[in-house]
Structures are given as C-alpha cells and as structure tokens.
Structure 1
Amino acid sequence: MKKSVVLYPGLGVGHLTPMVQLAQVFLQHDVDVTVALVEPPVKSPDFAKVVSRAAASNPSITFHVLPPPSSTPDGSNPDGTPKQHVVQMFHFLGAMNAPLRDFLRSLLSVDALVIDMFCCNALDVAAELGLPVYFFYASGAGDLSVFLQMPSVHARMTTSYSELGDSVLSLPGAPPFKVSDLPADVTKDSEAGNLIWRIFERMPESNGILVNTFESLETRAVRALSDGLCVPDRVTPPVYCIGPLVSAGGGEKEHECLQWLDTQPDNSVVFLSFGSMGTFPKKQLEQIAIGLEKSGQRFLWVVRTPPGDDHKHGEPLPEPDLDVLLPDGFLERTKERGLVLKSWAPQVDVLNHRATGAFVTHCGWNSTLEGVTAGLPLLCWPMYAEQKMNKIFIVEEMKLGVELKGYDKEIVEAEEVETKVRYMMDSEGGRALRERAESAKNRATEALKKGGSSHVAFVEFLNKV
C-alpha cells in the first residue's frame, strides 16, 4: 500500500511555494500527497491565484482548503492597538488546530504530517492522533543551527537584546554574528519574540526536520546539527537536507522581460528583485536608479509601490507609477540598456536566462536558492525576518555574494549601488564570485541526482515514516 502524507504549510505564499515543491518530491517517490491549506484571515487575491496555479500545475497533488476556525482570535491588544502581525498569525494558526484535527480524522490513511515551522501548535494535533510529525524548515541549515540554540541563549541572558546592540555571538554552526543581525521580532522583549523562540523550543519534539538545503552548501551548519551541538541538553531529532527545492520556471516564455533579455549579451544584466513583500520608499528608489544609471551596466529591475500608512498586511499593493517614483527622465535615459518592471517578474526564468549575470536580492531563502541553482553571484540587500542571517551565510560561509552597505541604516546610497554593481559585473572579484557560483550550481544538481546527498537523505527519511 502506498504511503500517504499531509503537508501543512500555514500562512503566506512564501511558505506555500516551497511546500508545493516538497509535495512534488513525495510524488517522485510514489507517495500520495495532500496539502492542507489555511486561507488567510485577510482575504488575498494572491493566495487564490497561487493555489489555483499550484493545483493546475500539479494535478496529482490534492489541495484541501481547511474551513476557518469557529472563532477568530482577537487581533487587538487590551488598549485597542492591533497586535503584531506575527502574533496575530500564531494565534490564528493555533485556532486552526480544530479544523486540522477534523480533517486528518476524516482521511482513510495518513502516515505522517509535515508542518511548516509556524504551525508548531499542530504538534499537539499529531500527538493526539498518534501521527508521526516532521517539520519542513524552508530556510537554510545555517539559520536553523542558530535558532535552535537561541531559546537556551535567551534563557541565560541577564540583559535585553537592545542593550547588547552590536555585541557578537559565536555559536556552533555559524560564523560570529552581531545580535542586531537576528530577526527584529525576536530581539524585542515582546509576545512575538517569545512565540518565535517557542517554535524552536518545540522543534525537538518532532520526529525529524526536513531542511531546504544541500550539505555541501552549508557544511559547517549541517555538521553542527548532525553532531547535536544546536539543541543543548536534549536529543536533536534527525535533520534531513533534501534541497534545493526550487521552482522549475518555464511558464512565462512570452513575458516582455524575457524577450528583452533575448536581445542582451550573455552574463551582462543585473537583475534586481526583492520578493513579494520587498518595497522601498521613493527616496530609496531614487538612489537605486541613480546608482544603476551611473554604473553604466545593463539592468532589469522589479519596482513595487511603497505601502501607504493605511496599508494592511496581506493586502495587494496598487501598480506603481514609475514616472512618479523614479527620477525625472531616468526611464528615457536608460531605455537602451535597462528595463523596469511593475510589481512582478518571472524570477526563475529571468535568473536562468543566459543574459543574466548577477542577482540583487533581499536574501529570502527561496530567492537565494533560485540564485544558487542558476549559478549567479548575489548582491545582498536583506530587509526583514531571517534575511540578515542569510546574508551572513551567503557572504561569509558560502562566499557567493557581497553585501550592499547601508541596508541596515536609513538608506543605501547611490554611490554604493554603483560601486557594487560595477564590482559584480566588471572586476576580478566579481569573476571569482561567478566561478564559485557556477561550482555551487553544479553541486546542487549533483545533490538532487539519484545517489546524491539530498536524494539519499530523502530516501532515509521515507524509510523512517
């Protein structure tokens, strides 16, 4: 009888996309897959589009949207101010335990439940039903090695994170990093920070952790995890590096930007894209534009509308008015060597195009892996969540990128954009980065082949289920 698993990705397109890619791996190993979806409490057309597209592209995967909870958690503090988005998300997912439990009970057979990190409350559902439960950690092993250690570090602290400032932490699995490089939500003495550390306290309760990475990309972190150095005083569950899981692309061949790239020389274009939530104020957009223009390099740039003060998290942003947001005459002056897109680009297709030579990225892990598997050097501009930590591993461990200085200050100046773009595209240092990136791409391909490290790890995991 075929094995059957349920995947539970929680909220957000950034968490659904890699979970769908994981589902495809299960199918390759002849396992039946159902993805249990949580519709965001704030209705989002992006969610509906992604689910529809995923279902159409993956007819062998069953997608089931769970009914909403019987009561929606209060999104406000006692004083009437709204709770942080992270807090609202945790409470909403906690309320989803009942619909998830009912759905799992309705199935004839389930061999395992695989949950997103933010769905840690679902551990209680799995325990109640006697189901093996595994975490799917959609970011890297480096982050995981640090974050699994942080609850015990946090418990020993005698001062606040704000007082530590730029103090340096040295932990197994990671190069030294500043306290300020940790995600902002966890360095505040807040309900959000405590909830996030609670995730990593509970992870060792699981039967194992699947990580979207490959061993040779993050050797030090994988070794620290395997040696049990990251979960003090407890047994570390098995960690399976099964990546890189990235979108195959190929669905937007007629997009204007791909036709434009067809007319450009090989490895000549810098691609700038900052994820589904990456936005900048007009002042920063102007500095990027000036830097790109002065660099003299070809570029393809995705620009999103800066959110207004009344914008609610999860709501779509209006289409950007490029003539208002960018310097006067910029589009006309750069039209022979640059293209600016509104809001979105077929990122995987762009990254794998022969004309693309470098990637300016917010260091979200999905984007990072897409850049690595395309063999591109990375210009790092982290913005939120774990992206500062990703930047450290990209620059100092993997040695596949450089940072744009000023990202953690008020603004990245035009001169910095100009200098780093030129370095990446027209220097010996940039060429060395490109060679290392090509090597990482080849190692990623080998890891996924039959007998490769990620393939072997996935088979090992399936044998335990």
Structure 2
Amino acid sequence: MNNLSSGAHILVFPYPAPGHMMPLLDLTHQLALRGLTITILVTPKNLPILQPLLSTHTNIRPLVLPFPAHPSLPSGAENVKDLPPSAFPAIMRAMRQLHTPILNWFQTHASPPVAIISDMFLWWTHHLACQLSIRRYMFSPSGVMAMAIIYSLRRYPPERNDPSDPNGLISLSKIPNSPIYPWWQLQFLYSTSYVEGDPISEFMRDGVMANMASWGLVFNSFTELERVYLDHVMAEAAHDRVWAVGPLLPTEDDQTAPNCGPSSESKGDIVSWLDTCGDNTVVYVCFGSQAMLSDDQMEQIASGLEKSAARFLWCVKEASGYGVVPQGFEERTVGRGLVLKDWAPQVTILRHRAVGAFLTHCGWNSVLEGLVAGVPMLAWPMEGDQFLNATLVVDELKVATLVCEGAQTVPDPNKFAQFVSEAVGKGVTRNVRTRALRVAGLEAMREGGSSQKDLDGLALDIAQGVSSEYEGGHEK
C-alpha cells in the first residue's frame, strides 16, 4: 500500500456503540495503511478494542478521555450496547461535553491533527473543527440512501394529510425512486429532530445540517450498491467530496486487517457445527446488538423455527429487559438447531457454505455482511434507518424478503415457519442478484476497485488539506 498522505496527523473519533465503532476502526486500519498518523479517541472501557490496531500499526495511538456523565443516563452508560436506541439523544448530548477537553488537547499538542474524522452522531465536531480551522469528515456507518432520506426530512419537511394517522403514507419525492413509507416508520427519524423549542429536538436537528455542512462525507458503502444515492448526496451537498469506502470488512483474501470485534471462545464450536450441515440449509437468526425482543416475540420466533423443521443458528442476547428463549425449546430442537447466548462471529457464520438465509433487523452492518457473503436475507426492520435499509434490499435490490415490520410486532409462527422453510428448503439456490452483489462488493475492496480508489482519494484529500489555507471550516 503506497503512502498517499505524507504522514498527515488526524483524529478519529468513533461513537461508542459496536455498530458504529467497528466500521470506523476498519476505516482507520485502511487509512493507516496509506501512511496517515492517527490518534483514536476512546473512553476507558473501549480502549481494549483498539489493541489489534495498536499492535498492527505503529502510526496509531490512543487518546483516552472519560465518558461524560449525563442526568438522563444510568450509571455505567459507557456500555452503550446495553442501552436502547431511545437513549441515543442523551448519549450524543453527553458526548458533546468532550468538546472542551478535546479543544484543550489540540491546543497543547506539539503536532495536533490537521483533520477530524468522526461518526455522524458526533456532529458537533464539525463546529469544533471550524473553531480549530481544520477539516471535519463525517463518517456514516449507515448507508447513503438512509442518510439522504434523513437529510431530506430536515430540508424538505413532509406533508401529512392527517397528523393523527400513524399509517398515513409519506412520499419522499426528492429522493431517487421516490420511496413511500407509512408515517410510523419515519416518526422516530423525524420527531427527534423537529419538535420546535424542545432542546433535544433542536440538538438533533442541528446535527443533520452540521453533518451535511462538513468538509467531506465518508460512507460505509460502495458505488455499485448505491450509485444513484451517492450522486444525489453530491448534488445536495453541492460538492464531490463524498467517498464510498465500504464494505468495511476483511475480504476473504486479506489477512492483514485486524479483527477489532470481541473474542468468542465458542467460534470453533460454531464452525464445527456448521461443518456438519449441508450447503444452504441453515437459517441464521440475529437482530443485532441492541434490538430488545419481548418474551412474546421470542416465543413466536421459537415456535416458527420449530415448525419450519429447518436447521437454524439463533443468536440471542441475555440481559435485563430482553426476552428469553422459551423453556424446552433447545431440548426439542437439539441436533438441528444451535442457540448462541454470546457474541456471534457473524462474518464467519455468514460466509460459511451451510448458511442459506439470514433473518436480520436490517442494521446496515448486517446488510453489508449479508450482501458480501452472498446470503439472501429475511428482513424484519424494527426502527430508525432499518426501514430505509429494508426498502433498498427488498424493493430495489430484490435480495431480501420482508417477513415482519416493527419493534413491537409479534410474528405469526405459521407464516414465519413458511418463510424460513422456503428460504432454506431442498433445492433452493441463491439468486442471480445476490451472487452479483457479492462479487461487486468484493471487487470494490480489491486493488483497483471503486472503494479502494475512494480510500486513496480520501487520504490524498486529507494530505492536501495540510497545505491549504483554511479558516472557519471553509477554505479561503
């Protein structure tokens, strides 16, 4: 990998939730390979996650700052993965208290960073960068389509014929392909930003605009997947400093990328069990690190898996407030199913020949991992941008089947069983679109691919900013 950045020093600032942190650390690895000198800002409990990067790259160093307290957050809130999505606004407001400590660090550093790359949820770093007269690059762990819609909701507020109707349809005519959603699917994205006079809403609304106003926009996606939305974002931003650098995952032939995820002692046992299964016969069920399923939902999922007679690998979360696996289910399905009550090595699982379908909440990381593995998806979007991601994979790309919608919805076990059995039934083969997108994703991250070129372009843009006259977040 060529040194494209002349050793320019940057600050990387991840949002402290696994789904946000892991892809930005993968991006950090890629930028380190291109010669950047990188400081990564983390809170104390996340410092161990950096160890693979720190042991791989001598040009990466940590900056550890305490996780700020906030009256709306419980003690120990640094474990963001254990908090529901509704806590995100409070976490974001708490993280903003790091503005002054970071500013002090910059002002006392012998060779401070020339740019900041920070998560979309840390939008206030745009104002910090302006204050320091350096560039801020927004990193989005969400897809380009999702970010385009979130921005459009702010810039072009939708009209509602009946404000009391949660099922009223909203047409987003400013977005390519004019997607249509019932109001209840957009309400979280919209209401957290548009309640006039509410301080949290004002904070969130300002964030949408600050992200778009940043010097550059970096997405964990690839051109071949979301080309029309990349073009749209460039038009809305009125510049071409938009880079699609994903999928930010280790490729099958790249052994240099450190594994920044948690370790799992059961990884070998999981692979061994999958090795005993036929090709495309296992449905992998996982709803991410934060979805909170109720006991009723867990019961119906278990019933559906049992009725389907299909092989399955089900990842569940054991924590206070989460539903539990029904008693006796594991005994009744022993031999053809495996329930994981620990972190799952998802990339490894999805790439195994035995996995024929992926039941997912449509979080963007899971979507990308499923696409790159070439595994057809069964979509159950639950909240936030997951509904937008589902539109992309179900309606536009046609590599997923919608089986359920909503965080509170309880599936019909008979219909659920039918979806599962049809997805991994005898003779089922992966469709042409699924195979083509897998190839496109892998090619994007190979030498000469679209994402590799965008990574090179991003590193060069950072290096060029070192010598540019820069003031207030905009070049003179």
State TM-score, norm by structure 1.
0.84
Supply the AA of the counterpart residue of 2:436: S
Find the partner of 1:187 among 183, 187, 191: 191
Pairing 1:289–2:302 present: yes
Contact 1:448 1:454 survives alignment (8 Å): yes
Which residue of 1 is the match for residue 351 of structure 2?
352
Contact 1:358 1:425 survives alignment (8 Å): yes
Supply the AA of the counterpart residue of 1:62: R
**1:180 positional shift:** 2.6
Which residue of 1 is the match for residue 76 of structure 2?
none
Which residue of 2 is the match for residue 225 of structure 1?
233
Change (3 A) 1:330 1:33: same
Which residue of 2 is the match for residue 145 of structure 1?
148
SS in 2 for 1:431: coil
Pairing 1:15–2:20 present: yes
Which whole-Å CA distance do the structure 2 matches of 1:113 and 1:128 have between them?
A: 12
**1:110 positional shift:** 1.9
Contact 1:215 1:241 survives alignment (8 Å): yes
SS in 1 for 2:134: coil
Post-superposition CA distance 1:111-155 (Å, at most 9, x none): 31111111111112211211111101111011111112111223x
Find the partner of 1:454 among 451, 454, 466: 451
Supply the AA of the counterpart residue of 2:22: T
Supply the AA of the counterpart residue of 2:92: F
Find the partner of 1:214 among 216, 222, 241: 222
Which residue of 2 is the match for residue 441 of structure 1?
438
**1:191 positional shift:** 4.7
Pairing 1:66–2:72 present: no
Contact 2:67 2:95 survives alignment (8 Å): no
Post-superposition CA distance 1:174-221 (Å, at most 9, x none): 541213322625336365444333222112321110011001111321
Which whole-Å CA distance do the structure 2 matches of 1:372 and 1:266 have between them?
A: 17
Which whole-Å CA distance do the structure 1 matches of 2:162 and 2:184 have between them?
A: 12
Pairing 1:375–2:374 present: yes
Change (3 A) 1:220 1:416: farther
Supply the AA of the counterpart residue of 2:400: G
What is the number of residues matched between the two proteins?
429
Supply the AA of the counterpart residue of 1:436: R
Change (3 A) 1:141 1:453: same
Change (3 A) 1:342 1:58: farther
Post-superposition CA distance 1:323-376 (Å, at most 9, x none): xx4445322221121111114211111111121111111111111111111111
Supply the AA of the counterpart residue of 2:429: R
**1:96 positional shift:** 0.8
Contact 1:115 1:136 survives alignment (8 Å): yes
Supply the AA of the counterpart residue of 2:176: G
Change (3 A) 1:159 1:36: farther
Post-superposition CA distance 1:59-108 (Å, at most 9, x none): 65322212455xx45438xxxxxx96233223212211011112233151
**1:165 positional shift:** 3.8
Supply the AA of the counterpart residue of 1:462: A
Contact 1:2 1:32 survives alignment (8 Å): yes
SS in 2 for 1:182: helix
Which whole-Å CA distance do the structure 2 matches of 1:392 and 1:11 have between them?
A: 27
Contact 2:153 2:190 survives alignment (8 Å): no
Post-superposition CA distance 1:282-338 (Å, at most 9, x none): 111111111111111110001223643xxxxxxxx8xx8xxxx44453222211211
Runs of 5+ consecutive residues of structure 2 not aligned to the other structure: 1-5, 74-84, 252-258, 463-476
Which residue of 1 is the match for residue 82 of structure 2?
none
Find the partner of 1:201 among 200, 209, 213: 209
Higher relative contact order (CA 8 A, sep 6+): 2
Contact 2:285 2:314 survives alignment (8 Å): yes
Change (3 A) 1:118 1:54: same
Percent of residue pairs bearing the same amino acid type: 27
Pairing 1:102–2:110 present: no
Which whole-Å CA distance do the structure 2 matches of 1:196 and 1:296 have between them?
A: 46
Which whole-Å CA distance do the structure 1 matches of 2:327 and 2:166 have between them?
A: 43
Contact 2:92 2:121 survives alignment (8 Å): yes
Contact 1:135 1:210 survives alignment (8 Å): yes
Contact 1:266 1:357 survives alignment (8 Å): yes
Which whole-Å CA distance do the structure 2 matches of 1:161 and 1:26 have between them?
A: 47
Pairing 1:120–2:123 present: yes
